[in-house]
């Protein structure tokens, strides 16, 4: 058997995708102009698929902070914190994130992926039980491959399904660790966190929540779903990323557990990879200040969510179950999704296309993510463009038919 033979099915699917002309997994941004604009295929394109929720990638204060840090401390740390030591900025950033959540401890990682991978695989060890939502992010699934704990999936966003699985464990010894996400990255739906927390309390389970897509977006201070649901104190571990709302790269985990720092010498994805460079740490610290100082960005983001979600819904598109900074548009199959995606790109709008096996329940999606600095005009235009393509692809009923049906 050849090395790549086991990927035969995937290769074939990928070949199909490429017959459409563009390869959605190798898009080249020839030049990025702003949080919402880039040159793709030689034309100025509206970006609605970059998780840049607050548009902070071009925030002048964040950019200046990063430039200053490079001048002061150089371009990189060239090693991990346990080998090369922590810069005082790493420590300062950890303190600021801990304070942001009102938690005692924080550990910063080089990516959010590594934070989930290392923390989850380490927290639940031999003899423990790890219970994960069926629609969990790849980083959570990969942690499940590394852990020595017994892993069980429960139905997406279904506290009753979790409860059944905790109940079945009966009085078996071992810790129970439940992993949830604030906002799910494909359809933009939120976990019923309060109900989940009640179940976890009843069975003495620890709660770890990944707020990757909800940092900044949810809660009075932008702390995420745990703040919005009023259960910050009941979430034992909160994981997040700097790569979305904060416009840079990196991950973190906060907790009140008194022994939390032992993770610094047990989590391999923290110990055996280089720490974040000074420029990133500086821009993230500044971005966190912006999130605190400018709550209007959150309001703008949700206004934009409403414009796109309600606009598409009114035209008859099938969307994710609720408003969210991610708006998932359901399409009937993979090839329609890819054709639709390409037609949008030709019309100057970039979104993500998500097809099985990367999606829950085998659905094919256009995944749109909104930015606080999109304008209403841009989004109205996008709804118009998508409606036109939707009719052309037969995803939406024809205009005449619609009119006839309405009579």
Partner 1 sequence: MRTAHQLTVENDGIADTLTLTRGISRAEVISEICAHLEPYQTGEKPITGETVIAKDLTIDSLAIMDMVMELEDRFDVSIPMSVIAEIHTVDQLADTIRDLRTQA
Q: At what angle do helices 138-146 and 112-123 cross, to 10 degrees?
A: 40
Given a contact cutoff of 8 angstroms between Cβ atoms, the answer to whether 186 and 366 are in contact is: no
Cβ-closest position to ligand PLP: 112
Contacts of 386 (CB under 8 A, 6+ apart): 312, 315, 317, 329, 344, 349
Q: Does 66 bind ligand PLP (CB under 6 A)?
A: no
Question: Taking contact as CB under 8 A, which single stretch among the options 54-62, 180-188, 243-251, 354-362 is the one that binds partner 1?
Answer: 354-362
Q: Output the six-digit token pair for 138.
A: 């790849």
- Please work out the total of residues on this chain that contact ligand PLP, with binding judged by CB under 6 A: 14
**Residue 315 CB, nearest approach to ligand PLP (Å):** 27
**Residue 94 CB, nearest approach to ligand PLP (Å):** 16
Q: Which is nearer to ligand PLP, 252 or 311 (CB)?
A: 252
CA distance 128 to 147: 9
CA distance 199 to 16: 44
Residue from 2, 357, 400, 406 that binds partner 1 (CB under 8 A)? Answer: 357
Rounded alpha-carbon distances, angstroms, from residue 389 to 35, 312, 385, 396: 25, 12, 6, 9
**Residue 157 CB, nearest approach to partner 1 (Å):** 13
Residue from 103, 137, 223, 228 that binds ligand PLP (CB under 6 A)? Answer: 137
Q: Does 401 bind partner 1 (CB under 8 A)?
A: no
**Residue 321 CB, nearest approach to ligand PLP (Å):** 17
Q: Does 175 bind partner 1 (CB under 8 A)?
A: no
Footprint (CB under 6 A) of ligand PLP, residues 95-114: 111-113
Q: Which is nearer to ligand PLP, 192 or 332 (CB)?
A: 192
Interaction partner, residue 139 (partner 1, ligand PLP, none; CB < 5-8 Å by kind): ligand PLP
Distance of alpha carbon 99 from the chain centroid: 22
Residues facing residue 207 across a β-bridge? 178
Q: Does 151 bind partner 1 (CB under 8 A)?
A: yes
What is the DSSP annotation of 110-160?
Answer: S-HHHHHHHHHHHHS-TT-EEEEETT--HHHHHHHHH-SSEEEEE-TT-HH
Q: Which is nearer to partner 1, 171 or 377 (CB)?
A: 171
**Residue 150 CB, nearest approach to partner 1 (Å):** 4
Q: Does 144 bind partner 1 (CB under 8 A)?
A: yes
Residue from 128, 163, 181, 227 that binds ligand PLP (CB under 6 A)? Answer: 181
Q: Does 167 bind partner 1 (CB under 8 A)?
A: yes
Cα 133-108-237 angle, rounded to 5 deg = 35
Q: Which is nearer to ligand PLP, 77 or 139 (CB)?
A: 139
Q: Which is nearer to ligand PLP, 113 or 396 (CB)?
A: 113
Interaction partner, residue 241 (partner 1, ligand PLP, none; CB < 5-8 Å by kind): ligand PLP
Beta-sheet pairing, 129-133 with 150-154: parallel
Contacts of 363 (CB under 8 A, 6+ apart): 330, 356
Q: Output the six-digit token pair for 109.
A: 């990682």
CA distance 154 to 133: 5
Q: What is the DSSP letter of 319?
A: B
What is the contact surface with partner 1 in residues (CB under 8 A)?
A: 134, 144, 150-155, 161, 164-165, 167-170, 356-357, 360-362
What is the contact surface with ligand PLP in residues (CB under 6 A)?
A: 111-113, 116, 137, 139, 181, 185, 210, 212-213, 241, 243, 251
């Amino acid at each position: 058997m050849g090395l790549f033979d086991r990927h035969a099915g995937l290769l074939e699917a990928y070949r199909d995708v490429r017959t459409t002309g563009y390869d959605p997994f190798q898009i080249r941004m020839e030049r990025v102009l702003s949080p919402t604009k880039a040159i793709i295929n030689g034309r100025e394109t509206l970006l609605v698929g970059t998780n840049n929720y607050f548009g902070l990638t071009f925030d002048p204060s964040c950019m200046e902070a990063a430039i200053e840090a490079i001048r002061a401390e150089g371009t990189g740390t060239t090693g991990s914190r346990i080998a090369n030591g922590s810069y005082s900025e790493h420590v300062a950033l950890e303190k600021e994130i801990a304070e942001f959540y009102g938690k005692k401890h924080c550990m910063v990682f080089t990516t959010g992926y590594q934070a989930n991978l290392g923390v989850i695989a380490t927290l639940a060890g031999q003899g423990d039980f790890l219970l994960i939502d069926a629609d969990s992010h790849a980083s959570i699934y990969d942690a499940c491959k590394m852990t020595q704990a017994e892993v069980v999936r429960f139905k997406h966003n279904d506290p009753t399904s979790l409860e059944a699985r905790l109940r079945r464990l009966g009085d078996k010894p071992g810790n129970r660790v439940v992993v949830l996400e604030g906002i799910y990255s494909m359809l933009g739906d939120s976990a019923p966190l309060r109900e989940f927390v009640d179940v976890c309390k009843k069975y003495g389970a620890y709660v770890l929540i990944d707020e990757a897509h909800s940092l900044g977006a949810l809660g009075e201070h932008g702390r995420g779903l745990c703040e919005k649901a009023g259960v910050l104190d009941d979430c034992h571990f909160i994981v997040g990323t700097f790569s979305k709302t904060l416009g840079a790269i990196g991950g973190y985990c906060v907790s009140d557990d008194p022994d939390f720092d032992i993770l610094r010498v047990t989590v391999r994805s923290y110990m055996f990879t280089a720490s974040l460079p000074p420029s990133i740490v500086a821009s993230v610290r500044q971005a966190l200040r912006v999130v605190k100082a400018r709550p209007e960005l959150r309001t703008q983001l949700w206004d934009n969510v409403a414009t796109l979600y309600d606009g598409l819904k009114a035209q008859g598109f099938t969307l994710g179950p609720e408003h969210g900074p991610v708006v998932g548009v359901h399409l009937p199959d993979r090839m329609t999704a890819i054709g639709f995606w390409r037609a949008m790109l030709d019309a100057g709008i970039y979104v993500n296309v998500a097809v099985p096996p990367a999606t829950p329940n085998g659905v094919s999606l256009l995944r749109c993510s909104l930015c606080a600095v999109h304008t209403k005009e841009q989004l109205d235009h996008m709804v118009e463009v998508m409606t036109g393509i939707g009719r052309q692809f037969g995803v939406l009923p024809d205009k005449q038919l619609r009119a006839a049906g309405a009579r």
